[in-house]
Structure 1
């Protein structure tokens, strides 16, 4: 599976591009702040054609560029419980952060809702761009946080790490940490249940591509992540 990830221009949010291989249809995951130019370069360099945008949750740093990336043609896939966040994620953002964005990019922060929003649900299987994905609802960071699981791994990874599946964990699980639960819609108890019932049952041989920071594996996090101990 062709996989390329790069950080957005703000908040260090990882944007991912997934495809069966170069020159084929692809998926864009979590297009954050200011990713359009770099995303365009990646698509052109590898001859990729986006067919859908997947959103692990509705926070601004993960969805800021979803509408221009979708371009009124592609569907934006998000869990139903976070659907409301796409109406105007700027409205729930601290004014200081909005000001920071405007200062950094030299223009007013604006928002337009995607034209085609597709609500997904727990356990749903998606067949998109030649890839098969399973939706795993894992609330706690937000009400509608999800992880997307695939039975494939990025090209070149299997020979270096003992993995045979991939999960895009969004802000549920990071290398050595988890997503915060003190923002609007966050719930510490829900996060504990998600870690226990959704994350821990994943096979050790699962590669984790998180919403922020480096990739990791379920085996490594099970052994070292302090937030998974004792669950």
Structure 2
């Protein structure tokens, strides 16, 4: 397996290049900014990008999507509920004093528990809303890897004060969909460093009794 992280843009978002060395096929997960830098990193891996996967459609996770569609001619996939956020990207940008260019469209929807093949790798989509409508995490059981998007971070959880956020829903998503994974599962989040499920179960203050939430 090839798994490379690029931390991009003003919001320091983690974009992931994930691929299967045997077949030479790969995907991009959450290309948030710096399309040229992402494309150069893909070139170094030698992978052929066959699709772009989105954990959710906040502006910091999709900023480079349109440019990379032009580069690779590949489909963009996300949960159906993410479509409303994509349509609101210009508004998201204005709220942050930014401007947004071309709004990408989804070419297909990813359902909860759907299995996505990347060469010989299998990603299982886990519906984990709360931070954003339609939020997904991607679990590679064979590799013990979870791409958690903005649901779960090292020592923290996703904020819920943006439109469509729901604190109670987020905590249910984390406890019922993510913390049930093996403790050794390596978590690669949408921001910040990697961690493990076991470490977050034991030490994340937001997951302890009485823990608060953003």
User: Do both share a fold (TM > 0.5)?
Assistant: yes
Task: Give the distance between the partners of 2:92 and 2:9, measured in 1 at CA.
Answer: 20
- Which residue of 98, 103, 111 maps to 1:112? 103
Of 86-95 and 66-75, deviating more is: 86-95
Task: Give the distance between the partners of 1:12 and 1:97, measured in 2 at CA.
Answer: 17
Contact kept, 8 Å, 2:160 with 2:167, in 1: the verdict is yes
Deviation for aligned residue 1:41: 1.4
Q: Which aligned runs of 4 or more in structure 1 are off by greater than 4 angstroms?
A: none
SS at 1:40's partner residue? helix
Contact kept, 8 Å, 1:25 with 1:130, in 2: the verdict is no
Contact kept, 8 Å, 1:169 with 1:209, in 2: the verdict is yes
Q: Which residue of 1 aligns with 2:202?
A: 223
Deviations 1:125-168 (A, max 9, x none): 11134321101001100121110000243xxxxxxxxxxx1110
Task: Give the distance between the partners of 1:133 and 1:218, measured in 2 at CA.
Answer: 17
Is 1:201 aligned to 2:180, yes or no? yes
Deviation for aligned residue 1:186: 0.2
Contact kept, 8 Å, 2:128 with 2:136, in 1: the verdict is yes
SS at 2:5's partner residue? strand
Task: Give the distance between the partners of 1:180 and 1:95, measured in 2 at CA.
Answer: 16
Structure 1 residue ranges without an equivalent (≥5): 99-107, 154-164
CA root-mean-square deviation? 1.8
Of 196-205 and 166-175, deviating more is: 196-205
Is 1:170 aligned to 2:186, yes or no? no
Deviation for aligned residue 1:121: 1.3
Is 1:211 aligned to 2:202, yes or no? no
Task: Give the distance between the partners of 1:182 and 1:148, measured in 2 at CA.
Answer: 24
Of 84-93 and 116-125, deviating more is: 84-93
Tell me the TM-score normalized by structure 1: 0.84
Is 1:183 aligned to 2:162, yes or no? yes
Structure 2 residue ranges without an equivalent (≥5): none
Task: Give the distance between the partners of 1:95 and 1:86, measured in 2 at CA.
Answer: 15
Task: Give the distance between the partners of 1:74 and 1:185, measured in 2 at CA.
Answer: 28
- Which residue of 117, 120, 123 maps to 1:127? 117
Deviations 1:72-96 (A, max 9, x none): 7211111111122223412233444
Alignment length (residue pairs): 209
